[in-house]
């Protein structure tokens, strides 16, 4: 096969061009058969295939209403998003976003109270 970028002949199995490193072959990421953990029903019932960070972030997000745990929810939420981006097969982005939103929402008054407390002394 020839590189669409620079026209240099490459091996038919080559993933990247030998000359310009252009990706010339898209490797299929997923198998055709759906796995059990991919079905929506199983996903609802079990945390299978879900990022552990997202699970932790989900709970931290719930407890963010206590203000003290809000920064923790924010951190776990960000960690979950990073984890899911690294492992696209994992689920739980909704929980991660939820944790970040809750974390930001409840961290703001916490920071305000801390600053007010420091300035008030
Ligand atoms: Zn090339």
pLDDT in tens, 84-100: 999 888 889 999 999 99
pLDDT mean over 72-95:
90
Tell me how far the alpha carbon of residue 1 lies from the centroid of ligand 1, in angstroms: 11
60 inside domain: yes
The secondary structure of 26-79, three-state, reads CCCCCCCCCCHHHCHHHHHHCCCCECHHHHHHHHHHHHHHHCCCHHHHHHHHHH
Confidence of residue 41 (pLDDT cuts 50, 70, 90): low
Contact indicator for 98, 81 with CB cutoff of 8 Å = no
Tell me how far the alpha carbon of residue 29 lies from the centroid of ligand 1, in angstroms: 23
81 inside domain: yes
Residue 64's pLDDT is what?
Answer: 82
- Whether 65 and 21 map to the same domain: the answer is no
User: Which residues crowd ion ligand 1, with CB under 5 Å?
Assistant: 3, 5-6, 8, 17, 19-20, 22
Residue 13's pLDDT is what?
Answer: 83
Residue 101's pLDDT is what?
Answer: 93
> What domain range includes position 64?
49-120
pLDDT mean over 20-41:
64
Distances, alpha carbon 42 to alpha carbons 26, 32, 36, 51, 86, in Å: 30, 18, 7, 15, 22
55 inside domain: yes
41 inside domain: no
Q: Could you report the per-residue pLDDT of 101-115, keeping only the tens digit for each? A: 998 998 888 888 888
């Amino acid at each position: 096969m020839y590189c669409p970028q620079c026209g240099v002949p490459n091996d038919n199995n080559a993933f990247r061009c030998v000359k310009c490193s252009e990706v010339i072959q898209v490797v299929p990421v997923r198998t055709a058969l759906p796995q059990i953990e991919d079905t929506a029903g199983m996903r609802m019932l079990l945390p299978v295939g879900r990022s552990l960070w997202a699970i932790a972030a989900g709970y931290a997000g719930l407890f963010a209403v206590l203000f003290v745990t809000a920064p923790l929810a924010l951190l776990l939420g960000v960690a979950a998003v990073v984890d899911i981006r690294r492992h696209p097969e994992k689920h739980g982005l909704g929980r991660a976003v939820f944790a970040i939103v809750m974390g930001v929402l409840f961290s703001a008054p916490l920071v305000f109270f801390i600053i007010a407390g420091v300035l008030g002394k």
